[in-house]
Chains A and B, each alone.
Chain A
Amino acid sequence: MARRRGAWLTGLTACLLAAGCGTTYMGRHGIRWNSREEIWLAEASQVKVREAQSRVFDTSDTQRTLEAVVATFQDLGFQIEVLDESLGIVSGKKFAGIEGAGQAGFGIDATYSLYDEESLVLFTRTYRTWGPFRHRSDLVRLTVIVRPRNAQQMIVRAAAQFYLQPVEAPEPYQDFFRTLERAMFAQQARN
């Protein structure tokens, strides 16, 4: 009888431990065994995602479009990390602010008690990009590409990444392009 109770206790502890792994950053990513599968990871149709990510603007000025993209990054609170006007690329990052003890999953993430939440422990520049610990889960990355479509039009394509996964829902991109349109309008009004 005592043995059976012991077995139940062991089982219960194992179950709690297994559930607890949901709170760690690495845990929630699952195990990816095959890197080849990563290439085909996109869940939604590529055509649909590309369509949601792209928008055509009636302008032929790459420079001004890039300026508007930079203003949009500033509006959205992104820090610009990569900028190349000849290739038409702007990349940046921001933190979505969802991370916190107890918000990460079920229960409280014990690793949060290891550091002051308001501080950022710094070791190298690489650490600063990623965050103090490996469960930095609120990092949002955004890459925008501007390229001419024809003599009168430009295509702007934005690709976002959240939680190390590509963002495939159309709504965030609609918000982005709305902000970009506003930035372009402000740019026109200024000159």
Chain B
Amino acid sequence: MRSACSVRRLFLLLAACIGVAACATPPEPPSDLLAPSAEQAALREMQTRSFDVSDKNQAMRGVIAALQDLGFIIERANEPLGLVTAARFAEPRDQDVVGVTVTVRPQGEDKMVIRANAIYNNEPITDPKVYQNFFATLERSLFVGRN
């Protein structure tokens, strides 16, 4: 009777030991952890647009105004590097989040290259319409800022 009980205890202990040993092995990082995806080149194309603005500050103000027009809250803005990040709760389910990173770079003397990339929860947005909508709003905002 006593030996059956101690066998059971020993068995439980062994099972627990195996369990703990199995638990303590985190997975290896995937090989493509820091590699760009196959559709990256096409995505970059739709995320980038060039505008006839020579002043970087004005372009950045336009970007911030456009993001505000779209209901985003600005999280950080860095003028020397031309970077603006913003986020907002998505529609229709307001527990979802859209994050956007916008960069403004001068191209030559009189142009600015603006690139926006958006992330919905944890997936990058690959729908070109989203970017077209952003750039249309930005164009309007830059036009309003000029006049």
Contact = CB atoms under 8 A, between A and B. Distances in A.
Contacts of B93: 119
Interface of A: 3-4, 7, 10-11, 14-15, 17-19, 21-22, 27-31, 63, 66-67, 70-71, 73-77, 79-80, 83, 85, 94-98, 118-122, 128, 131, 137-138, 140, 142, 158, 160, 162-165, 167, 169, 171-173, 175-176, 179, 187, 190-191
A172 B29 contact: yes
Contacts, number: 166
A3 B18 CA distance: 24
Given A74-B117, A76-B36, A28 B83 contact: no
Nearest to A66: B81
- Interface SS of chain B: helix, strand, loop or mixed? mixed
Given A7-B7, A28-B27, 20 more contacts: A14-B11, A28-B24, A31-B20, A67-B103, A70-B83, A83-B76, A95-B123, A97-B122, A97-B123, A118-B121, A120-B97, A120-B122, A122-B97, A160-B29, A163-B27, A169-B29, A173-B34, A175-B33, A179-B36, A190-B107
A172 B34 contact: yes
B23 A175 contact: no
Interface residues of B, number: 55
A7 B11 contact: yes
A17 B97 contact: no
B83 A83 contact: yes
